[in-house]
A = this chain, B = another copy of it.
Amino acid sequence: MERILANVREKSPLVHCITNYVTVNDVANILLACGASPVMADEEEDAQDIVAIADGLVINIGTLNRRTINSMGQAGKRANELKRPVVLDPVGAGASNLRTKTTFQLLEEIRFAVIRGNISEIKTIAQGAGSTRGVDADLKDAITEKNLERIVPWVKELSNRLGAIIAITGAIDVVADPQVAYVIRNGHPLMSRITGTGCMLTALIGAFVAANPDETLRATATAVAAMGLCGELAYQMTVRHGTGTGSFRTYLIDTMSQLDGKTLRGGVRVETR
């Protein structure tokens, strides 16, 4: 995983994000913090050109509208033609009809390298893709040590069906392709007390995958573990300084900008299944 991070720092991939306006600043800053470069462009004509100079594309449907939905589709297809990795964050899929519809439409139009969401968003995708309800019901709201054994094959199977690496994040993260699943136990609950940790992680995945084109699964798992580790380190700083969630958000970007290979190697809690 050290080499994966080193590649990001060395190649400094340009990551094109069509993302929501709530967390866009944090997304840009975490990309810079990990060594990548962000570029945001969501007008169709602009996005077409920008995607061509970028090393990867991240699509986040957090605050979509008719105009940006169209740009997402066009930019995604162009990225596919250019063989740039495309990462999807289906924010709120299942919570509104427009978000669910848009997610399925994007899944039809675009080949995604990675799809990252929480369990509820990924379940929505799985159901739309014809998943068996029985397993889904099993999942309820979280991946736990108890249901992990049944979830891992389900995620692998979903990855196979969608032709994309699936990253489900929560207290326990599962990142899987059809053969191998990484189970990652980094992170801290405080990460859910600020906005944007999911969006930031998806953008990081875009950067890590763009800089490691031959190791998409490992790059995705590394991004997930690195983000979780930074959450832990940022939490420690919050405790040390007696500060709250505002500072925690700042520390998260601080720790990502300071993360070195040794700290990453020593801190990740990852197993493969």
List the interface of chain A (C-beta within 8 A of B): 20-26, 28-29, 32-33, 38-43, 45-46, 49-50, 53, 62-67, 92, 95-99, 193-196, 243-247, 249-258
Contact = CB atoms under 8 A, between A and B. Distances in A.
A194 B32 contact: yes
Chain A interface mostly = helix
B254 A244 contact: yes
A180 to B, nearest CB: 32
B43 A64 contact: yes
A40 B22 contact: yes
Cβ-closest 8 pairs across A and B: A246-B253, A244-B254, A49-B96, A244-B257, A28-B195, A245-B257, A246-B250, A43-B65
Q: Taking the full assembly, how many copies of this chain does it contain?
A: 3
5 contacts: A22-B28, A23-B28, A28-B195, A41-B96, A46-B99
B42 A98 contact: no
Contact of A25 (B41, B66, B195, B251): B195
Contact of A195 (B38, B50, B257): B38
B245 A45 contact: no
Contacts of A251: 243, 246-247
Contact of A29 (B49, B246, B256): B246
Given A42-B63, A45-B97, 5 more contacts: A40-B62, A42-B65, A243-B254, A244-B258, A245-B254
Contacts of A253: 244-246, 249
A244 B234 CA distance: 11
Contacts of A66: 43
A23 B26 CA distance: 10
